[in-house]
Amino acid sequence: MFDREEAYISWVLLNVTDRGLHCEAGDFYIDPWLPVPRAVITHAHGDHARWGCDSYLGAREGERVMRTRLGAGATIRFVDYGEAIDQQGVRISLHPAGHILGSAQVRVEYQGEVWVVSGDYKTEPDATCTPFELVRCHTFITESTFGLPIYRWTPEAIALDELRAWWRANADAGRTSVLFAYSLGKAQRVLAGLRDAAIGPIYTHGAIERLNRDYRDSGVAIADTIYAGTMPRGHDYAGGLVLAPPSAGGSLWLRRFGAISTGFASGWMRIRGARRRRSIDRGFVLSDHADWPSLLATIDATGAERVWVTHGYREPVVRWLVEHGVEAEAVASRWEGEGEAELQDLGVAGEEIVA
Amino acid sequence: MKRFAALVAAIDETTRTSEKVEAMVAYFKDAQPADAAWAVHFLSGERPKRLIPVRRLAGWATEASDVPEWLFEQCYEAVGDLAETISLLLPEPATPEERALHVWIEEYLLPLGEMEEHEQRAAILAAWRSLAGFERFVWNKLITGGFRVGVSQPLVIRALSRVSGLSEGVIAHRLTGNWAPHADSWTTLVAEQTADTDVSRPYPFYLAYALEEELETLGEPQEWQVEWKWDGIRAQLVRRADRCYLWSRGEELVTERFPEIATAARLLPDGTVIDGEIMPWKEGKPLAFSQLQRRIGRKALGTKILEEVPVVLIAYDLLEIAGEDVRERPLAWRRARLAELLATPGVSRTLMLSPAVAAAAWDAVRAAWRRAREECAEGLMLKRLDASYGVGRRRGGWWKWKVQPYAVDAVMIYAQAGHGRRASLNTDYTFAVWDGGTLVPFAKAYSGLTDAEIRELDAWIRRNTVEKFGPVRSVKPEQVFELAFEGIQPSPRHKSGVAVRFPRIARWRTDKKPEDADTLETLRTLLHAADTEGDSRE
Ligand SMILES: [Zn+2]
Ligand SMILES: [Zn+2]
């Protein structure tokens, strides 16, 4: 007999509710934005991992950062990439997303139907996390933070070279280099890239230092850093590099560093106006998200018959896919791209979060 | 081109003037003379006029980057700058080619103006294929006529002074007038000794900052000369080698436009340069600025207009006497020599010494300022009697103190994205006043709001857009602003029938409703008042 409910569920294995992306068959949510009993978390960024759920499931690689973000009291079950667990007959497994340490795509399988939720992802490998793994599926729910063809990345090595040259020039001029980078992921990626740049000491803002410790404890090799909060008053920072979250821009906290040049490592720096609006001296195009060509290539390679698009530039990505014969739809979520959520997460600008 | 693009990037990447100067010095030190000449030209704010309509360019770029038109539009909206959108969308060139700046300009850019559309297309596509990254952006800026670099003329002069070892005054002087971007002009510009053969060359104008403090902060009134700030055309009269040249502040040669002044100037001795203001003047009194504009607008100067709107040069200052540059001498000395010169018979009717306003006490100065509009002046100028004649805008020696501008409350009806730093924000607004039940646009204004207000207004605009045509949005007529402007005159070209000068936003009147905004009638009253100010002196 034709079971209407079964048919419905297999058609939409996941659907968007006011609390987030919900799997009815397995009764769990993926990256919910309101507290729920069971949450599967793609990664520890603030817009994806929220406080207050009864239980969480996450990738083991990200154990330390997720504990830092969700608090010591949270009930979290960690699984290895590829390890499957059963939830009321729904098979859930996590697969590397290449975005930050422990970031995962969530693969959900029920009665032969496979859905993959990408979370945030990046296909270019970097030294701080397991590289992105392509997972074939029937329905792919992809992010689209940089879903416009103006966003095309150059290899990471180029941004790192530019960064070193800028730091060197500032050091020669007796200035302190202040680099703004998101405190979880981007900062550590920069630090991994600067491991053997012996230009000067690297100082960090408290928000970053806390996560540096998590990365080191997780076995990721990053450059040595000094927490700026431990330096005596009047310390001379000239020639050093200061890593700070973007929210510290323009704050009193920056005053101690004397004459500075400011830089910002972000995919948004591809656009000149994005840098100039923030009155930043130098922009370094370094993103933890897929650019336009790799978004399209990934969507294509998943073999998905249906694509749901979340995050930033949903409409252009959907329209492009539809014009190219793919069944695609924009899906509203409270997930954000490289940006605002990270800022809010840090609380008051410049406030030190002591490790 | 690579080096020039790198210079533009270096200037773009810092807000410190010392670093901007440093970057320019580094560039000029070993640039080819022909490249350096073009760089001076562009850095001084000159730009090639737009050679290709933007729409056409966008079409070719859409084609070359293989994206559909709607997607190009989306990208443009995100970037806010056409030249940048194009350079970000085009595929990176497989084989970038390096050509010198002057080659790009002289052999590729300038000829575009003479080409047919299909030739232009081929030339542009070829250029895009050989320029990479930021160079392509600079090129696009040059061909769209939107090239702007974040340096002021004084900074360029400072850099050139450092490169050449010459004083800033000499560089500034050599740059004024008909400076053309050629290798020879560069060599002459930085040469230690040159027989300065260009007898027409004016000096850079000294410009005043607006007075913001109380008069008392300036010290004793006896140390100052107070003059009317005339609302005419600032000009420099050069009398050398038995010829005369009249330069406007925009460094345009306007001798032919004002034959009266040229005639009177012939009575001056050779080697004289006077700074002054061209003013419409009849029967011993000034006329309104709109009268002068009537005259400027004419192609040919008939006897009728010469009779209706005669002009004089109100002489402010003496920069050169007997061929000697006297800008370093104190104002008191220069003015005394100027008065002697103008006493030459037959001169003073057309070349009038700018009258000094009695300034025994600051209160008397305040009283004069309140009278300024009756005198057909925009306000007062305060000049230190012991000050030299500076280069460009400098603080301290001269102050301008303008009378309060006109102001009306108007409703915003259109908004448009700005340029450069504000490319993704709506910062250009069109304002309207009521005429019966309809809103008639009468002014566009770009400035006057704080960054925070701009962001707030931008968000409001996005939520309240009624229609979009290209970059322009029509918005719900709800927001009221107090607009200030410097002058008003009739204009058949505007729907409202009036044109205002230098409109800017004085305040965002969130306390007012659209129906509280002013009417066209208010503007007409102001217009009438402005007119009679002039007429009453005839
Ligand atoms: Zn993320
Ligand atoms: Zn996200």
Higher pLDDT, A98 or B491: A98
d(CA A275, CA B534): 49
d(CA A235, CA A256): 8
- Contact between B153 and B167 (Cβ < 8 Å): no
pLDDT for residue B371: 86
Nearest to B75, CA basis, from A151, A119, A59: A151
What whole-number percentage of chain A has pLDDT above 90?
A: 77
Nearest to A92, CA basis, from A52, A135, A51: A135
B192 pLDDT band (50/70/90 cuts)? confident
Helix (H, G, I), strand (E, B) or coil at B414: strand
B310 in a structural domain: yes
For residue A142, report the distance from its CA to the centre of ligand 2, in Å. 10
Q: Which B residues 253-312 touch A at CB under 8 Å?
A: none
For residue A278, give the chain B residue with the closest CA.
Answer: B421
Taking the CA atoms of B42, B44, B45 and B51 in sequence, report the sign of the dihedral they define.
negative
Give residues with Cβ within 8 angstroms of B16, minimum separation 6. none
Predicted confidence (pLDDT) at residue B374 exceeds the cutoff of 70: yes
Q: List the structure tokens of B524.
A: 């007409």
- On whether both B423 and B289 belong to a single domain, the answer is no
Q: How many separate domains does chain B show?
A: 2
pLDDT for residue B254: 84
Helix (H, G, I), strand (E, B) or coil at A189: helix
Q: In degrees rounded to 5, what are phi and psi of residue B235?
A: -150, 160
- On whether both B248 and B389 belong to a single domain, the answer is yes
DSSP state of A150: T
What are the structural domains, with CATH classification, of chain A?
15-151+289-344 (3.60.15.10), 156-284 (3.40.50)
pLDDT for residue B293: 77
d(CA B475, CA B424): 17
* Other Cβ atoms within 10 Å of A92 Cβ, number: 21
Q: Which residue has the tokens 């890239």?
A: A193
Q: Domain with B528 in it: what CATH number?
A: 2.40.50.140
Q: Which residues of B touch A320 (CB under 8 A)?
A: 71
d(CA B254, CA B315): 16
Q: Domain with B220 in it: what CATH number?
A: 3.30.470.30
Active-site positions of B read 229
For all residues of chain A together, what is the average pLDDT? 89
Q: What is the pLDDT of residues A220-265, one digit of tens each?
A: 999 999 999 999 988 999 999 999 998 887 778 888 999 999 999 9
Taking the CA atoms of A23, A29, A31 and A33 in sequence, report the sign of the dihedral they define.
positive
DSSP state of A171: H
Give the angle subtended at the CA of B530 by the CAs of B525 and B532, to the nearest 5°: 95
Domain termination site, one of B369, B402, B435 = B402
- CA distances to B1, B50, B119, B123, B124 from B111, rounded to whole Å, are 18, 12, 10, 10, 11
**Alpha-carbon Rg for chain A in angstroms:** 21
Predicted confidence (pLDDT) at residue A105 exceeds the cutoff of 90: yes
Model ipTM value: 0.90
Domain termination site, one of B372, B402, B432 = B402
d(CA B38, CA A292): 37
- On whether both B373 and B436 belong to a single domain, the answer is no
Domain termination site, one of B350, B378, B402 = B402
Q: Which B residues 125-144 touch A at CB under 8 Å?
A: 137
- On whether both B412 and B455 belong to a single domain, the answer is yes
- Contact between A94 and A79 (Cβ < 8 Å): yes
B99 pLDDT band (50/70/90 cuts)? very high
Predicted confidence (pLDDT) at residue A159 exceeds the cutoff of 50: yes
- Contact between A74 and A94 (Cβ < 8 Å): no
Predicted confidence (pLDDT) at residue A211 exceeds the cutoff of 90: yes
Q: List the structure tokens of A25.
A: 């068959």
- On whether both B490 and B369 belong to a single domain, the answer is no
- On whether both B381 and B417 belong to a single domain, the answer is no
pLDDT for residue B304: 86
The whole-number average pLDDT for the span A12-23 is: 90
Q: Which residues of B touch A276 (CB under 8 A)?
A: 12, 420-421
CA distance B342 to chain A (A): 52
pLDDT for residue A347: 31
A4 pLDDT band (50/70/90 cuts)? very low
- Contact between A136 and A302 (Cβ < 8 Å): yes
Q: Which residues of B touch A284 (CB under 8 A)?
A: none
DSSP state of A267: G
d(CA A164, CA A158): 10
Q: Which residue has the tokens 């101690």?
A: A256
d(CA A46, CA A183): 11
- On whether both B210 and B304 belong to a single domain, the answer is yes
- On whether both B411 and B384 belong to a single domain, the answer is no
Task: Label the pairing between strands A327-330 and A306-309.
Answer: parallel
- On whether both B315 and B394 belong to a single domain, the answer is yes
Q: List the structure tokens of A215.
A: 């990365």
**Alpha-carbon Rg for chain B in angstroms:** 26
B86 in a structural domain: no
Q: Which A residues 268-327 touch B at CB under 8 Å?
A: 270-273, 276-277, 279, 281-282, 313, 316, 319-320, 323
Helix (H, G, I), strand (E, B) or coil at B402: strand
Q: Do A272 and B13 touch (CB under 8 A)?
A: no
Q: Do A273 and B423 touch (CB under 8 A)?
A: yes
Predicted confidence (pLDDT) at residue B297 exceeds the cutoff of 90: no
For residue A211, report the distance from its CA to the centre of ligand 1, in Å. 15
Predicted confidence (pLDDT) at residue A346 exceeds the cutoff of 50: no
B506 in a structural domain: yes
B89 in a structural domain: no
B44 in a structural domain: no
Nearest neighbour of B79 by CB, restricted to A152, A271, A313:
A271
d(CA A108, CA B119): 57
pLDDT for residue A11: 62
Q: Which residues of A touch B9 (CB under 8 A)?
A: none
Helix (H, G, I), strand (E, B) or coil at B243: strand
- On whether both B215 and B355 belong to a single domain, the answer is yes
Taking the CA atoms of B397, B403, B404 and B407 in sequence, report the sign of the dihedral they define.
negative
Helix (H, G, I), strand (E, B) or coil at B49: coil
pLDDT for residue B176: 78
- CA distances to A247, B243, B312, B487 from B357, rounded to whole Å, are 54, 33, 19, 23
DSSP state of A153: P
Residue A344 amino acid letter: Q
- On whether both B394 and B262 belong to a single domain, the answer is yes
Q: Do A272 and B71 touch (CB under 8 A)?
A: no
Q: Which residues of B touch A339 (CB under 8 A)?
A: none
Helix (H, G, I), strand (E, B) or coil at B159: helix
B70 touches chain A (CB under 8 A): yes
CA distance A150 to chain B (A): 5
* Crossing angle between the packed helical segments B33-43 and B183-190, to the nearest 10 degrees: 80
Q: In degrees rounded to 5, what are phi and psi of residue A352?
A: -90, 130
SS (H, E, C) B504-523: EEEEECCCCCHHHCCEHHHH
Nearest neighbour of B78 by CB, restricted to A150, A279, A282:
A150
B95 in a structural domain: no
d(CA A75, CA A33): 17
Give residues with Cβ within 8 angstroms of B88, minimum separation 6. A150, A152, A270, A271, B75, B79
Q: List the structure tokens of A279.
A: 């009155």
CA distance A148 to chain B (A): 7
CA distance A56 to chain B (A): 37
- Contact between A330 and A184 (Cβ < 8 Å): no
- Contact between A321 and A128 (Cβ < 8 Å): no
Give the domain range for residue B421: 407-537
For residue A82, report the distance from its CA to the centre of ligand 2, in Å. 21
Residue A29 amino acid letter: Y
pLDDT for residue A355: 27
B252 pLDDT band (50/70/90 cuts)? confident
The whole-number average pLDDT for the span A178-196 is: 95
Nearest neighbour of A149 by CB, restricted to B15, B71, B424:
B71
pLDDT for residue A170: 94
Higher pLDDT, B495 or A157: A157
Q: Do B67 and A276 touch (CB under 8 A)?
A: no
Nearest to A138, CA basis, from A123, A156, A116: A116
B390 in a structural domain: yes
Q: Which residues of B touch A146 (CB under 8 A)?
A: none
DSSP state string for B471-484: TEEEE-TT-EEEEE
Q: Do B424 and A277 touch (CB under 8 A)?
A: yes
- On whether both B308 and B332 belong to a single domain, the answer is yes
Q: For A322-336, B129-143, B458-472, which range has the lowest pLDDT when averaged over its residues? A: B458-472
Q: List the structure tokens of B531.
A: 């007119």
B129 in a structural domain: no
Composition of chain A by helix, strand, coil, percent to 5: 30, 20, 50
